[in-house]
Amino acid sequence: MSDLLQIIDREGNKVGTVPRVKKEVFLNMYRAMVRTRAFDDRCMKLQRTGKVGFSVPNRGIEAVSVGAAAALDISKDWVAPHYRDFGIMLYHGVSPERMMDTMFGNEADSAVGRQMPVHFSFRKPLNFLSISSPLGTQVPQAVGIAMAMKTRGEDGAVLTTFGDGSTSASGFHSGMNWAGVFNSPTVFLCQNNQWAISCPSEQQTKSSSYAIKGEAYGVPGVRVDGNDVLAMYRAVSQAVKRARAGDGPTLIEAVTFRMGGHSTSDDPTKYVDPELVTYWEQRDPIVRFSAFLHAEGILNEAADATLREEAKDEMLTAARAAEAKPVPVLTSVFEDVFEETPAHLKKQSAFCVDHYSSRGEGVNEKGEFPL
Amino acid sequence: MSNLEFPLPDIGEGVHEGEIVQWLIPEGGAVAEDDPVVEIMTDKATVEIPSPGTGVIAKHLFGAGEVANVGDVIFIISSDGAVADSPSSAPEVAEEEKPVSAPVVVEKTAPADLPAVTRREDGKVLAAPATRRLARELGVDLTTIRGSGPNGRIRPEDVRTQQSAPPAVPTTPTAPTAPAAVVPTFAATSGAHEEERTPFRGIRRKTAEAMSRSKFTAPHFSLIEEVDCTDLVDIRNRAKVASEKYGIKVTYMPYIMKAAAIALMEYPQLNAMLDEEAQEVVVKKYVNLGIAVDTPNGLMVPVVKDVHLKGLLQISAELAEVAGRAREGKAKAEDFQGSTFTISNAGNIGGILATPIINFPEVAIMGVHSMRKMPRCIGDDIVARQIMNLSISIDHRLVDGADGARFMVRMRELLEDPALMLL
């Protein structure tokens, strides 16, 4: 893997130039990675006990999302994400409880229960577009936002993430093409976790890599060790810098491995060779970064253990808080599109309440969704 | 004691049932929150279900291999650990056959100012939009219909049935206008035509799947042999007395099993299977006998292993043990695994011959039928003899009729003159 950008190897040894940032940044990255795994673990348990309907395993890809997140300036950069991006939100201070609100689809959920679990959307503290399940639709959207920034003369960049499977979707090609032609300040981050649900990379593309696909659109491509958070940080930082400088888009391929199913509805043991899982477990991004931080004297055993325990407790507490909140009110279905609800929607809202009330469902203004 | 009932969640998107693969915590075992409790297989994935709380697993409501619907309570956790500490206090939970209610039921309290409407007890009418439209068009009130679909969902047929149902007016017979042939009058009888629907699952469904696979895969042929068991009866009666001091009850079955083991070693093509994937015939050089047992839960086939190496006493003891476990529902998975040939004994209930269905992928199954005193010719005399029929069904893909007949003749020889089994 010589064409791969790597800064720390699987044992945590330095093999490249370590980014010159404050120790706190390293610690924030590490904490976000540990918290991402803890959030993921908690969501899996919530789903298996029937408390939430669905989740998307994030195990193994923590360095990709956290490394990329750390390279952004959220006062001006936007994110057009895909569904394996817990780390971006957690790094930038979205509280686990707000994320859990979306997992449960409760009344505090930013999407008011109208999205599937995991399909987060936030305006604060960062502009994080609503995750959409269809593959690659966020790519041209990201290019559009970036073009708007460019037209307005702002120096923001837009990070869009997607999996290896999305490179076969039309959105990837139209987005990449536009970005190449019009030099949009976009960072394309392909999370190559080896699997598009159960479809392996060798059945996904005949290209020698995903990064090389950029050449077709005149967009430079970079391959990065996606389990090396510092390499991810370096690659995305450089891409963001290029975007801000008006040098246009970059395609980054983060080579990583999904250490779980595609989603809670998937059984990876049916198609993933267990030896492959062992191979990647030895390249665990958290273990590797932890070893680096210990060697650098930034983190010690005790602090590491405390941090992991705290992350577990934090996610459990967040889940309990979100679980305790009621589901959204029935009438919320008619809100949020218009600033002032028009007459025909008011009429429909009244009919709806009346109809479900008469059947003992949905009940009243503070009632439940008739699901 | 506070109990937490755990209903099977939808662990995929739109999954409606799951099979219990195995329990990871036995009844009475302690669990902490998040510990894996049970492995569930759905049509999408096999997953471990973590414990929703800390305590003791008070009860499994489904056994391994059984299918539970989403929403069925599959286990109960007792939070204060009373079950594990003092098993004597367990029965109040353990004897519960079905959970009283699942905790997922959302309490719905209708506000007092709602208009009073006719609705079913649970306050819901379940029907698809198309059904609702049909009801509107036909002028049928959905709240008056009992739905025949899942969870009482009203289906379009129910609406049509309700609409076409004749008004309940007593019919008054009209007098015949002309005197005709005398028609006998029957007392008016009205059968209730009651039916009962139960879910098709668990052992019933597993049995159905296994039988269909066998019957539609292996072309069966059957043949019947008659065995004069007069000598065997005598020998077995003596064995029964002799074995009492070991606390073992010797029945006829161990003799039939022993004879089968001998005959199978001589005709191993009946002790075989077809490995369709490898396109190879696998002939077994050992005899593990599956014995079909009628249990309160249905047909089960526990296995006695290495019958060709064992004596009658040992076979008797092991058979009693595995069959007992199967009847009591305490059998372990390995009790049902590894049989090379199966014997079905329905003879003690009734019937003089049968065409049993092969315990696939084995190639033959033998039925044992009731023993009766029958008149038979010995020389020129008619004498009372103990007669029993053996039937066998064989997979004709691997075994020809002549081999089947030879095997059955050998069975007859061995059972008519049990001393031959000593050779």
Q: What is the pLDDT of residue B103?
A: 40
Percent with pLDDT over 90 in chain B? 49
Q: How far apart are CA B204 and CA B211, in angstroms?
A: 11
pLDDT in tens, B304-334: 999 999 999 999 999 999 999 888 878 787 8
Question: Considering the domain A23-324 in this protein, what is its CATH number?
Answer: 3.40.50.970
Q: Do B50 and A265 touch (CB under 8 A)?
A: no
Q: Would you kindly state where each structural domain of chain B is located, as residue ranges? A: 3-94, 122-153, 219-422
| Closest chain A residue to the Cα of B45, Cα to Cα | A267
**B3-94, what's its fold?**
OB fold (Dihydrolipoamide Acetyltransferase, E2P) (2.40.50)
Residue A269 to chain B, least CA–CA distance (Å): 9
* Lookup result for tokens 């069959």: B323
Predicted pLDDT at B122: 52
Residue B44 touches chain A, beta carbons under 8 Å? yes
> Can you give the pLDDT at residue A361?
66
Q: How many CA atoms lie within 13 A of A55 on its CB side?
A: 25
Q: How far apart are CA A100 and CA A319, in angstroms?
A: 6
Neighbours of A218 (CB within 10 A): 14
d(CA B333, CA B391): 28
Contact indicator for A133, A121 with CB cutoff of 8 Å = no
Domain boundaries, chain A: 23-324, 329-371
Residues on chain A touching B114 (C-beta within 8 angstroms): 357-358, 360
- Hey, what are B4's tokens? 């937490």
| Residue B20 structure tokens | 């219990």
Contact B56, B68 (CB under 8 A): no
**B180: pLDDT confidence band, cut at 50, 70 and 90?**
low
Which residues is B253 bridged to in the sheet?
none
- Among the residue ranges A49-53, B173-177, B187-191, B324-328, the one predicted with the least confidence is B173-177
Please name the residues in contact with A30: beta carbons below 8 A apart, sequence gap of 6 or more: A229, A286, A289, A290, A293, A299, A307
Note the pLDDT of residue A1: 38
- Whether pLDDT at A164 is above 50: yes
| Superfamily for domain range B219-422 | Chloramphenicol acetyltransferase-like domain (3.30.559.10)
A247-292 confidence digits (pLDDT tens): 999 999 999 999 999 999 999 998 999 999 999 999 999 999 999 9
Nearest CB partner across the interface for A267, out of B44, B52, B117? B44
**A176 HSE (CA, 13 A, CB side):** 29
Amino acid B166: pLDDT: 53
% of chain B surpassing 70 pLDDT: 84
For the ranges A216-230, B106-120, B283-297, the maximum mean pLDDT occurs at A216-230
Per-residue pLDDT for B123 more than 90?
Answer: no
pLDDT beyond 60 at B338: yes
**pLDDT tens digits, one per residue of B233-266:** 999 999 999 988 888 989 999 999 999 999 999 9
Task: Look at residue A52 and give its three-state secondary structure.
Answer: coil
Q: What phi-psi label fits residue A154: left (phi over 0), alpha (psi between -120 and 50 degrees) or beta?
A: beta
Of residues B13 and B171, more confidently modeled: B13
Identify each DSSP E strand in B145-288 by its residue range: 220-228, 272-275, 280-283
pLDDT digits (tens, 9 = 90+) for A10-50: 999 999 999 999 999 999 999 999 999 999 999 999 999 99
Q: What percent of chain A has pLDDT over 90?
A: 86
In this model, does residue A212 exceed pLDDT 80? Answer: yes
Task: For domain B122-153, give the fold.
Answer: Dihydrolipoamide Transferase (4.10.320)
Which residue from A224, A286, A235 is spatially nearest to A87, judged by alpha carbons? A286
Averaged pLDDT of chain A:
93
Chain A residues closer than 8 Å to B112 by CB: none
The answer to whether residue B23 neighbours chain A at the CB level (below 8 Å) is no
Question: Has residue B81 got a pLDDT over 60?
Answer: no
Nearest CA in chain A to B123: A360
* pLDDT at residue A85 is higher than 50: yes
Provide the pLDDT for residue A137.
97
pLDDT, residue B102, reads: 40
Query: CB count, 10 Å around CB of B138?
Result: 13
Q: Any idea which of A292-296, B275-279, B371-375 has the lowest mean pLDDT?
A: B275-279
Residue A163 forms beta bridges with which residues?
A191
Q: B198 or B355, which is more confident?
A: B355
Alpha carbon of A241 to those of A212, A220, A233, A250: distances in Å?
A: 21, 14, 12, 10
- Rounded mean pLDDT of chain B? 83
Q: What is the ipTM of this complex?
A: 0.74
